[in-house]
Amino acid sequence: MKRAQFSSPLLPYFLLAPQLAIIFIFFYWPSAQAIQSSFYIEDPFGFGATFVGLENYTTVLGSSEYLRIAQFTLVFTLIVTFLSLSIALVLAVKADAVLTGASTYRSLLMWVYAIAPPVAGLMGIMFFDQHIGPLVDLAALFGWDMRVGVNYYDTAFAMVVIAVWKQIPYNFIFFLSGLQAIPKHLREAAAIDCRSELRRFWTVTLPMLAPTAFFLLIINMTYALFDTFGIIDVVTRNEPANNPLTLVYKVYLDGFRSNDLGGSSAQSVILMIVVLVLTMAQFRFIERRVHYG
Amino acid sequence: MSFRTIVAGAVAAAALVSLSAPAFAATQISWWHGMGGRNGEIINELATKFNAAQSACALTPVSKGTYEEALASGIAAFRSGQQPNILQVFDAGAATIINAKGATVAAEDLIREAGYPFKAEDFIQGVRYFYADKAGKFVGMPFNSSAPIMYFNTDALKKAGVEAPKTWEEFEAIAPKLKAAGYIPLVQSHLPWEMVENFHSRNNLPFANNNNGFDGAEGAKLTVNSPEQRKMFEKLVEWKQADLFGFYGAGWNENQKPFEEGKVALWIGSSGSFGGLQKTATMPFGATFLPYWEGIKGAGTNSFIGGAALFAMAGKPAAENKCTADFFQFLTSPEIQYWYHKTSGYVPVTSAAYELAKKDGYYTATPAAEVGIQQLMLPAGEWSKGYRLGFYPQIRDVMNREFGKVFAGEVKVEDAFKTIEEEANQILARFAKTAG
């Protein structure tokens, strides 16, 4: 690797300073605050705080409701990640094979991505509305009395559908460009060697797509864990009740709706640890198998 | 200096003068609230009225989203020294702000310091205690006050040949007829508020120890797991199974909608829903009191104030506090109270405003508008004044969660109330520690 040379030893630090300042102010400092307040039970207005040691953590981890939410978050993340990746991959492979009118197809598949998340959420809940939702009417034709906001599983179903729908175009864009980056000679050589299209996909196309897929896996898991917040918020309509919730949404509820800063901070520290472990695991175990060509 | 620079300078100076002129004249005060839709517009109209009525103060209302979001924004702003002059806090958040001594200036003190007289007796019975401290001093200024009342679909009652029920026993008797007439007999919009909190005040039952929490946070415990409360919910479950009660989840509007569409005979909503219903209801409707149980001894007492109050935040200069007091004074004048009552449907908080509305013949024309205030003015019972419990929004969420499970058939009423008490008491114990 080539070494960059600076005339003054202070210059690189000076150039790094803006970036470091942003990371410090918007990431490390709030994290440190969260860790600190997770050991206190605090008056919301900041008048008094009682040091309680690990009580916030034991309360949270000992609550059956928190564990139920954690369980849902895990299942939700896995389903959303799997569905949005696999559907996008199928669409990308098919769109890549289209010869006439290719750009029209591609644009049509991509433009959902331009919809802002709250708008997507609102459109989603219109479709699933108990009183006027067309998807509810559709489900009724099959004898399914769909009650989003009343029935836990129906609500979860609606959340998954909206979250997946919103994420497919993003994955599609990356998969499609990944596919188009696979050298033509490689595909042609493979086509000569093997007649089965499906087999060529598993043995040649997919390994070549692995870097893209790995990147998308991390992005999609983060999306399902954190960025679905807006969808959860519009689907539950400000009333968590017995609806399915994700861990991030619970942090918000306890901190901002219930003004319980200690409990909320403890939960966000737990989430930080989860993300840390998850990221380390992904890089350690999955990235090793990714071939960067 | 070129001609162009001189002109530009003159224009800029003129603009500056014209912009800053009102700022010199009037003291600016801010008001953060949690109301949207029509009710949010009415707040803007109210501020315009206040600003037009005098020139010393200029009030700017800012919507912060929902009630919960307004409280959270107010708290965050207070912690960074950026609090507004006035913060609207809803009923469930009352304990949080009243217990934070030093966050607010008591409305009563503020008004007296500004040189106005203040008498608690001027306010109607049901609103006097909820936002006051233990000694009865008004900490918050009651603003949009509501009571849970029962609206009825006039056509439905006529078709079934029945009268609106006064008690739950009467409801049970007429519900099958309403069902036979093709209606969903009963729907409600807020189980914790209508079927738990106000259930306790209408039936005069203790809601929490420590005098419903008014005597202090230390050792406060919810006492909702009573045979009477369980019976209310066992009945609701029974009615739901018999298609006599419709349940559309914890959302307010999802439950109100079928009533507006004329599919429901009786809907328990807020007296503050009246203004909106007049626009959205597709059929003639009326209103009556929230029913109680005839079988419970001493039942039929008044319900306590719902909605929200205005709090004067601490740490503001005297001139601004004077303006806040001026605004509170303006707000509680009979004319403004009556105007607000008529446009929004919220009940007037002073007796003088109520008298004015009566004298003006408002209730002869629209009797349903009087139901809320009449219910708040019913004779009080020992336990009908509401509650003062910290982290209460969290407790409401626990209730809604368990009730959702009850109606989904996942848990029994008995177990739900056991869980509610257990979790609520943990939450209350945590709140007691915040004061430490």
Is the separation of the CB atoms in B236 and B195 below 8 Å? Answer: yes
Asked if B100 and A43 come within 8 Å (Cβ–Cβ), the reply is yes
Any domain includes A29 = no
pLDDT at B344: 87
Any domain includes A37 = no
Chain A residue with CA closest to B101: the answer is A47
What is the C-alpha to C-alpha distance for residues B105 and B314, in angstroms, rounded to an integer? 5
Average pLDDT, chain A: 89
Is the separation of the CB atoms in B328 and B110 below 8 Å? Answer: yes
Angle at B369 (CA atoms; ends B364, B370), nearest 5 degrees? 75
Q: Is the pLDDT of residue A4 over 80?
A: no
* Residue B129 contacts A, CB cutoff 8 Å: no
Any domain includes A27 = no
Higher pLDDT, A98 or B97: B97
pLDDT at A110: 81
Phi/psi for B313 (5° steps) reads -75, 145
Q: Is the pLDDT of residue B79 over 50?
A: yes
pLDDT in tens, B299-309: 999 999 889 99
Higher pLDDT, A254 or A117: A254
Contacts of A150 in chain B (CB under 8 A): 247-249, 404, 407-408
pLDDT at B74: 95
Any domain includes A111 = yes
pLDDT at B5: 55
**Contacts with B162 (C-beta within 8 Å, 6 or more apart), sequence order:** B174, B177, B178
Asked if B75 and A43 come within 8 Å (Cβ–Cβ), the reply is no
Task: Looking at the complex, report in whole angstroms how far the Cα of residue B16 sits from the nearest Cα belonging to chain A.
Answer: 35
The CATH number linked to A125 is 1.10.3720.10
pLDDT at A124: 87
Any domain includes A21 = no
Least confident of B39-53, B271-285, B286-300: B271-285
Q: Is the pLDDT of residue B325 over 90?
A: yes
Contacts of A258 in chain B (CB under 8 A): 391, 393-394, 397
Any domain includes A171 = yes
Provide the domain count of chain A: 1
pLDDT in tens, B99-123: 888 999 999 999 999 999 999 999 9
Asked if B401 and A152 come within 8 Å (Cβ–Cβ), the reply is no
* Residue B258 contacts A, CB cutoff 8 Å: yes
Is the separation of the CB atoms in A221 and A81 below 8 Å? Answer: yes
Contacts of A53 in chain B (CB under 8 A): none
Domain range enclosing A240: 44-289
Measured in residues, chain B has a length of 436
Is the separation of the CB atoms in A71 and A64 below 8 Å? Answer: no
Any domain includes A178 = yes
Sign of CA dihedral B107, B112, B115, B117: positive
Asked if A241 and B401 come within 8 Å (Cβ–Cβ), the reply is yes
pLDDT in tens, B237-289: 999 999 999 999 998 989 999 999 999 999 999 998 888 898 899 999 999 99
Task: Looking at the complex, report in whole angstroms how far the Cα of residue B269 sits from the nearest Cα belonging to chain A.
Answer: 17
Asked if B401 and A242 come within 8 Å (Cβ–Cβ), the reply is yes
Average pLDDT over residues B387-391: 91
Q: Considering the entire predicted model, what is its pTM? A: 0.87
What is the C-alpha to C-alpha distance for residues B131 and B78, in angstroms, rounded to an integer? 20
